[in-house]
Amino acid sequence: MPNINAAITAVHAWVPEDILSNKDLEKMVDTNDEWIRTRTGIEERRILKGEGLATSDMAVEAVGQLLEKKGIAKEEIELVIFATVTPDTTMPDTANTLCTKLGLTNAYGFDLNAACSGFIYAITVGNQFIKSGTHKKVIVVGGDKMSSIIDYEDRATCIIFGDGCGAVLLEPTIESVGVQDSILKGDGVGREFLYITSGGSKVPNTVETIKNKDNFVRQNGAPVFKAAVKGMSNVVSELLEKNNLGIDDISWLIPHQANKRIITSVANSLKFPMEKVTMNIHKYGNTTAATIPLCMWEWEDQFKKGDYIILTAFGGGFTWGAVLIKWAY
């Protein structure tokens, strides 16, 4: 039996048209364009507007356009793994809703919540379905409508997050390309620094929780910042060492886009040249599970078959990790 690898054979993404700029935020909270640019690198973010529009609607665009671009019939898709912290509803799951809205009639799906690390967790799970030989066409989606869980009176969070969605198609190959390795980590100590208090089984929403705005994301940024730099730098080093690779062997580093200073600190600590690091945080802010596929989509034209690419992320939980892929086309 030849060794089966899971290759990323297509990538696509979609962002809403509406822009929320730093200048707009200046009118909403006590902040300013200069502070946001220098402390985060963010200039604007996209916001999904429209009555009843949800995370799955962005995914309908991203995945629908991906299938069109790749020339694959909707019926061929077998499984959808949807990384998100902003599901359309707590139940049913968003993957299921997406399959029906888009007409993926032979697919089943499930949601995966690993906050900002969701996409790399989902790629790792999808890889197992392909490698085992049980599935031949798996869609991995990372999408979040962060604007639905942001308090636009809280300057510690509202300046950071935006909405967007990206997706990849995983298919089997016997060539030595595709997902090569993955290291995922987690540590629940992080739950006191980045969290939503209510709306789960511990504190269900009540009139009181809504009045207190406990249903929105809260963050103590500084400890998250430090843990993110350390976590991503260490896990990328571990992944390189495990695979006997050096920085020079890697064509691209695709880090989660949470803060430009986190990205440059990780690159500096790894001695990774910035011209090989993807960064589009200035346009989209932190779109949580969508940041990595949004980068893959925008850099797709620059990737070459056989390029080693590392994806790395850090997020709420804490969750973090890194995935080594060899570009397949």
Give residues in contact with ligand UT7 (CB under 6 A). Answer: 31, 35, 39-40, 116, 155-156, 159, 194, 221-222, 224-225, 228, 258-259, 262, 286, 315
User: Strands (DSSP E) along the chain, which ranges?
Assistant: 5-14, 19-21, 44-46, 79-83, 108-112, 138-145, 163-173, 178-186, 194-196, 217-219, 250-255, 308-315, 319-326
- Taking the C-alpha atoms of residue 59 and residue 219, their distance in angstroms, rounded to an integer, is 26
State the minimum distance, in angstroms, from the CB of residue 40 to ligand UT7. 5
Helices (H) and strands (E) in the chain, counts: 11, 13
Catalytic residue among 22, 96, 259, 286: 286
Q: Is 215 a catalytic residue?
A: no
- Taking the C-alpha atoms of residue 312 and residue 314, their distance in angstroms, rounded to an integer, is 7
182 or 259: whose CB is closer to ligand UT7? 259
State the minimum distance, in angstroms, from the CB of residue 284 to ligand UT7. 12
Phi, psi of 209 (to 5 degrees): -65, -35
State the minimum distance, in angstroms, from the CB of residue 228 to ligand UT7. 4
- ω into residue 318 within 30 of 0, thus cis? yes
Catalytic residue among 116, 158, 165, 295: 116
42 or 63: whose CB is closer to ligand UT7? 42
State the minimum distance, in angstroms, from the CB of residue 321 to ligand UT7. 13
Degrees to nearest 5, angle at CA 75 with 72 and 78: 95
85 or 170: whose CB is closer to ligand UT7? 85
Q: Which residue in 216, 219, 178 sits closest to 196, CA to CA?
A: 216
Q: Is 280 a catalytic residue?
A: no
Catalytic residue among 22, 256, 259, 295: 256
97 or 147: whose CB is closer to ligand UT7? 147
State the minimum distance, in angstroms, from the CB of residue 320 to ligand UT7. 10
> Which residue type is seen at 200?
G
Q: Is 116 a catalytic residue?
A: yes
In the numeric block, which tokens belong to residue 238?
């571990």
97 or 257: whose CB is closer to ligand UT7? 257
**Cβ 313 vs Cβ 120: under 8 Å:** yes
**Cβ 322 vs Cβ 253: under 8 Å:** no
Cβ-closest residue to ligand UT7?
221
Active site residues: 116, 256, 286
